Every structure is written in structure tokens, then in C-alpha cells.
A and B are shown apart, each in its own frame.
Chain A
Amino acid sequence: MAKAELKANQKTEVEDSSSLKGTLASVFFVGLFIVVTWVSVYYLFVDRF
């Protein structure tokens, strides 16, 4: 009985509720925003001084 249940469950895709993919994407966005801001003002500096 137990074996049959295991087999039946084999093909079910389990949604991983502990996934932090969105968090990873979000912190990458924050990092990118910082880099873009910094580089933009850096070019202003290079341009002016």
C-alpha cells in the first residue's frame, strides 16, 4: 500500500513554497539600480572635471 502511494506521487510536480527566487531577483534589481546610479553620476564627474 505504502509503495503504491509512493509510485502514484512520483510524477506530481511539487511547487517549492520555500523558493526565494523572487527575493534573489529583487536584490539583483536593487544592486543594478545602485550601479547604474553610481556610473551615471561618475560619468557626469568625468565629463565636468
Chain B
Amino acid sequence: MINTAAEKIKVDPRDAKLSMAHFFVAFAALAIGGLMGLLQTLVRSGKFELPLGIGYYQLLTVHGIMMGLILTTFFIMGFQYAAVSRTAGTHSNAARRTGWIGFWLMTIGTAMAATMVLLNEASVLYTFYAPLKAHWIFYLGLTFVVVGSWVDGAAQIMTYAKWRKNNPGKPSPLLSFMAVINTVLWIVATLGVASTVLFQLLPWSLGWVDTVDVLVSRTLFWYFGHPLVYFWLLPAYMCWYAIIPKIIGGKIFSDSLARMSFIMFLLFSIPVGFHHQLTEPGIDPAWKFIQVILTFMVVIPSLMTAFSLFATFERYGRSKGAKGLFGWFKVLPWNDARFTVPFIGMASFIPAGAGGIVNASNQMDQVVHNTIWVTGHFHLTAATSVVLTFFGISYWLVPHLTGRKLTKSMNKLAIIQGWVWFIGMVFMSGAMHIEGLLGGPRRSAFSTYGGSSQAAEWIPYQIAQAVGGSILFLGIILVLIIFINLAFFAPKGEEEFPVGEAEQSEAAAPMVFENWKLWLGITAVLILFAYTIPFIDIIQNAPPGSKGFKTW
């Protein structure tokens, strides 16, 4: 089925330019953040000390902010902007201008925050937990990043709204729908972090108030911090659901199922932040329990996704004549980096998701809380499933936007990159998981803890992490070589922007999925239900505020 007349096979060059601007910042962040990650694993091996008095926690802050906030947000906004342009039609001049304003706000904010971290005025890690106190310019810079991302996201919403207006009664193109869901999720989620920064951290760091309510600040952070991970994940799901089927030559298993699962992520990824605060003493356990239950609701769309992807692969394999229970697995296009690199990401999500269910379970959180198991966990989710999919996307999207071709040799290098990443991560994340179960802490530089025998058990795993980290850094160098090649040097040509079609294309998705009043209403009700009473309790029974600390 031809989707609509508005759909263009090629992203308009003016839209392509803005997407590429996002990618340049994203990949620069990858280079800087990646180097910091390598140095961290070397420091923790105990065999290497940082020169020039550079602090471990400064590196950790740069790594977390560059990888967790800048690489992800810029890549996602650039990708979604292109995906909306491709499927809902070229952005209007007004939408494009809005996108550029958002991009520059985010970039200026990034420069402000990065400057303060590099000047050693803001080594507060990417979670910037109070009472650690950074320079006010750091908080203001992050405010610019968040506000910029709202403006940037508004461009996608404008083009989506224009499509809906021009096509009354029709379900919007799947990729545009998904991009808008993720943008809305992001806007609702960032209200929390924006509140703590604007109303607590900025006035406090400017010296207008002396103390900060730590529990309120952390609660607002985690109101944002959990949907943040779904903001990273949903663009990867966009690729898995709607792009990979086209790349392998198959069909989307079900358009409606994909939309339904995205809506469930919008509903259930926000009212769940307490599962990051299970060891927090100031929150009523009953409300922690309720939010844990809501957290487990996200298992449903996750398993729907797993089912749908397996079904796409099996249907495709059987159409190629594959027999037996798993014959379809062999006929998948393993020589195509556009498939293989994201596939490694998908497969990694199986242990990543299982680990997440452990983290969110109240009792088991006592085993893993604040251990490096958690770091191992999000290096499987964000740093493997998500970023390998992002790399896989960029291997066709960058040449598509720059009018070049992914050559055979670059395709080969990209596949090598995917496997190098996988091997590095098996070492690094695997060792982090085991060390965490043995009690090894996260967010800490090398220490023998006064010659403790328990701490001595951790050191072999820290050496394994340094080995893994070095292999991963090699993977980052490969990504950067491929990115620069595709952006500047690859031969001119046409690279496809693959957009999958549903198996039953005549069955249009129910219009109820586009009923934003309904879904935003339920989102608001769930958030108010999960947060209102505990939040009143947190404020009414607040301990005395804390003055700021600078521990570095």
C-alpha cells in the first residue's frame, strides 16, 4: 500500500541538513564520552593513575553527560526529525526554523554545561544529585538542553499535526506516530527534572537560598530518570518494528500492535520512578510497592515487542522456504550491517530486560542497589541495545542524508564494529554484573578499602572491565571512522531510507490510537495517582534542608 501522497522517498535536503547537524554533535559526544569511559575502566583496574590531577569523578561526570544525555538526545531528535520528514512529508519552513532554534538552544546548553564540568566546577555525575552542588552555569546549561529539546520536538509535532489535518480520519504513518509518542513522553518526563533544576538547584547554586530538600530533588529527578531510559529505547524500537522488516525484505507483523505497545510505554514508563528509590528512607513503602507494580506493567509491551519481532523474522524466513523450528534464523541477512548491528542490540535486550526485572523487584534491589551490577545493566540496555541500533540506523541514514552510499567495504567494517562491540560488552558488562553480585560498588574510583578481603575479590573483575572497555573503545574508533566516511568521503549515490509495510496493509490501525486527549489524560491520571499522596507526604514530613557539598 502506498502510504500517502505526502510520503517522500527521500528526506528533503533542507531537513537532512538539520538532522546531520544533530548527528555531528551526537558523534562528537560519543568520541569524548567514549575516551572518558576507557579511562574510567583503566583507573578502576588499579593499574593506571590519571595525570595532571584530573579527578575520577570529573571523568565519570563527562562520560555520563556525554553518553547518557547528549549523544542520546541529539541522535534521537535528529533521527526522529528525519523519520517524520520521510513519512509525514517535508517539514514546513516554520517547523524547520523551530527545529533549528531547538538545536541551537541544546547546543549552547551543552557547551555551557561541558565548560563547567571541564573547569572542574560540576563533578556531580550525570544524576547531579543534591546535596552535591555544581556551578549555576552547569544547571542553566542543562536547562537550555531540556528546553531546546522541547522546541526541537515541537517541530516534529507541528509536521505530524499538519499531516493529520490534511488526512482527516486516517491513521498517521507509523514512524511519525512513534516519533510523536516519544517526543510527548520526553516532554512529560522532563517536567520533573526541569522543576528540580528551576525551583531548587538553580536558586540554591546562585546562593538565593541556603539549603535544598534532597528527597524532593531526588524524587523529581527519578520521575524523569526512568522515562528517560524509555526515551532512549523507543527510537530503537522504531527501527526494530518499522524499519528492520523492510531491510530484511519482510513485513511489519502488526501495525496496530506496534502502536499499542508504544502507547503502553507512554502510560507506564512515567509513574514508576520510586523503583530507583527503593532504598530511600523517606518514601512510604506502600507507594513504593504500587510503583513497582506499575513498573512491571512495562513487561507487557516489552514482551509484545519480542513476540512481534520474532514473528516478523519467522514469517520472512518461511517465505524464503526455511523449514523446521528455527530454520528461519539462518536465512536472515547476516551480511547486511543495517540488520546485523541492530540485531546484536535486540539480542542483548534479553539479558538486559531480565536484569531490569531484578533491579525493580524490591527485595532483589537490596542485593544489587548501588553496586556495579546496575552499571552493567544499563551498559546492556542503553550502551548496547540502544546505541548499537543507533549505529545501525546511522549506517544507512547518514549516507541517505548526505547523498552518498554505504559501500561494501564500509558495510563489512560496520559488521565488524558490531561484533567488536558485542565482545567488548560481554567482558565489561559481564564482569560488572558479577562484581555487583559480589558487592562491588558503582560510582567509585579504585580502592582496596583498607586491604579488605572482600574488595580484593573485585579486582580481577575490574581488570576484565578494563579489557572490555579497551575493546569497546576500539569499537568507538570504528564507528567514528565509518561515520566520517559516510558523512564526507563515501561515493555519491542513493541510499534507501527503509520504511516497512504492515503484513495486513488493508487493515488500518484503529483511530483511537491517535486520540491524544484520551492517552494524555490516562498518563496524567496515572502520574497523579502514583505521585500526589507520597509527594505531599515527602514535603510535609521533610527533614531539614541540606547545605551544598563540593566533594571533589
Contact = CB atoms under 8 A, between A and B. Distances in A.
Interface of A: 15, 17-23, 25-27, 30-31, 33-34, 37-38, 41-42, 44-45, 48-49
Given A18-B315, A27-B310, A41 B364 contact: yes
B323 interface: yes
**Size range of the chain B interface in the assembly:** 20 to 34
Interface of B: 303, 306-307, 310-311, 314-315, 317-319, 323, 325-329, 350-351, 353-355, 357-358, 361, 363-364, 366-368, 437
Contact of B311 (A20, A33, A41): A20
A41 B310 contact: no
Top 6 closest pairs, chain A to chain B, by CB: A37-B354, A23-B310, A26-B310, A34-B354, A22-B314, A23-B311
A12 B320 CA distance: 20
Contacts of A42: 361, 363-364
- Name the prevailing secondary structure of the B interface residues: helix
Contact of A34 (B311, B353, B364): B353
A38 B363 contact: no
A38 B362 CA distance: 12
Contacts of A38: 354, 357-358, 361, 364
Contact of A19 (B303, B318, B353, B368): B318
A3 to B, nearest CB: 31
A4 B8 CA distance: 51
A48 B353 CA distance: 24
Contacts of B323: 15
A18 B303 contact: no
Contact of A22 (B325, B363, B364, B367): B325
B350 A33 contact: yes
Contacts of A49: 363, 366
6 contacts: A22-B328, A37-B354, A37-B358, A38-B354, A45-B364, A48-B367
Contacts of B437: 41, 44
A34 B353 CA distance: 8
